[in-house]
Amino acid sequence: MPSSSADQTLAIRVVDSMERMSGRHPGYRRSSARGASFRATFTPTGEAAALTTAAHLQTRAVWATVRFSNSEGDPRTPDTAPVTRGMATRFHLHDGSDTDLVALTVPRFVASTPREFLELTEALAPDRLTGEPDPARVHAFVGAHPHLAEAVAQQPPIPVSYGSTAYWAIHAFIWVDEAGVSRPVRYRWEPEAGRTALTAAEAATRTAHYLTDELHQRLEHAPVAFDLRIQLAEPDDPTHDPSTLWPDHRKEITAGRLEITAPADDQDPWNMQAFNPTRVTSGIRLSDDPVLAFRAHAYAESHRRRSRNQ
Ligand code: HEM
């Protein structure tokens, strides 16, 4: 991906602003600070093979590593909070390379451009007097960007389990087939166990780390599985705006099944790793979504800081 110094400068501003919003927690990711990593196998169904040459979407199963996280930048945020959760997956391909798929428990992103995201994080910074975000500033942000009203109003579920909620990779990606024909797609992980959520009152009875504890317990009895569902675009579906959805009735296929089997042997290397949604493989290209391209810069900046224990 071409790297522009303007993007890098903006990434520094965005990560600074994320730190003002969530506090600075040395050594932690500036978003999705607290998480846990797991071993998995991904088995393609073959349904995607006619649409992309991507190696992990053909016929052979690959190893994968999955990091589930609480999306807040403050690692002390309890699992009982009504916030989004993350699922970052790294597919380890047979040629020794990797490709990542990074997803959240909401289908839309809260900004259409990196600058809008910067403005939103600035609006969410805690007020000096109350220590809480000022709802009037968020209201003003939405007033100035009415197209983001639905995305900002999304209520993520408080899942019963990391294994009982859906995760969306949100952006459009472009699949390229053997003949060079390209087609925009969107990804969703659909839990085999079905989607189940807690009410706020039920969540209040759970512990601060119940989601990680629950997944460890669940894996002692059986693997936890997800289907990789793919939504296929029709010719005029926009690919540049992660705050919008394609119609529900767009054709979907199941590209494969992910089976999570056990906690990763060693959590430390995975805590140090940086997932990167722009790390695609041959047969998959980035769309024209400016937020997708920008994420590579923001994640690198966060990784640079936390690698120095800042
Ligand atoms: C302007 C847009 C965005 C910015 C600036 C941003 C920023 C960040 C940063 C700084 C990190 C920590 C990276 C690290 O230290 O390794 C992160 C992690 C993460 N982000 Fe984003 N993000 C954006 C959009 C999104 C979107 C659209 C999604 C979902 C599709 C998403 C899902 C995640 C997840 C799941 C993680 C945790 C990855 C892990 O486990 O390592 N983010 N984000």
Query: What separation, in Å, do the N-terminal and C-terminal C-alpha atoms of the chain show?
Result: 27
CA dihedral (41, 47, 51, 55) positive or negative: positive
What domain range is 267 assigned to?
37-115+154-289
Q: How many CB atoms lie within 10 A of CB 284?
A: 20
84 assigned to some structural domain: yes
CB under 8 A, 24+ apart: contacts of 121-130: 121/14, 121/17, 121/18, 121/20, 121/21, 122/17, 122/20, 124/21, 125/17, 125/20, 125/21, 126/20, 126/21
HEC per residue, 59-104: CCCEEEEEEEEECCCCCCCCCCCCCCEEEEEEEECCCCCEEEEEEE
8 assigned to some structural domain: no
pLDDT for position 3: 59
Ligand 1 in reach of 187 Cβ (< 6 A): no
pLDDT for position 110: 98
Total domain count, the chain: 1
24 assigned to some structural domain: no
pLDDT tens, position by position, 244-270:
999 999 999 999 999 999 999 999 999
254 and 227 Cβ atoms separated by less than 8 Å: yes
Tell me which residue has its CA closest to atom 4 in ligand 1.
295
For residues 144 and 126, give the distance between their C-alpha atoms in angstroms, rounded to a whole number.
Answer: 20
Ligand 1 in reach of 65 Cβ (< 6 A): no
Q: Which of 8, 31, 297, 308 to mutate to test the pocket of ligand 1 (most atoms within 8 A of CB)?
A: 31
Task: Tell which atom from ligand 1 comes closest to the C-alpha of 18.
Answer: 10
Ligand 1 in reach of 88 Cβ (< 6 A): yes
Contacts (Cβ under 8 Å, ≥6 apart) of 94: 55, 60, 62
Ligand 1 in reach of 103 Cβ (< 6 A): yes
Tell me which residue has its CA closest to atom 36 in ligand 1.
32
Ligand 1 in reach of 281 Cβ (< 6 A): no
45 assigned to some structural domain: yes
247 and 281 Cβ atoms separated by less than 8 Å: no
Please give the structure tokens belonging to residue 62.
Answer: 């690959």
Task: Tell which atom from ligand 1 comes closest to the C-alpha of 277.
Answer: 30
pLDDT for position 4: 82
Q: How many CB atoms lie within 10 A of CB 98?
A: 17
The stretches in the chain having pLDDT less than 50 are 1-2
Ligand 1 in reach of 191 Cβ (< 6 A): no
HEC per residue, 206-231: CCCCHHHHHHHHHHHHCCEEEEEEEE
136 assigned to some structural domain: no
Task: Tell which atom from ligand 1 comes closest to the C-alpha of 301.
Answer: 10
CATH of the domain at 194: 2.40.180.10
Q: Please give the distance, rounded to the nearest whole angstrom, from the Cα atom of residue 122 to the centre of ligand 1.
A: 17
302 assigned to some structural domain: no
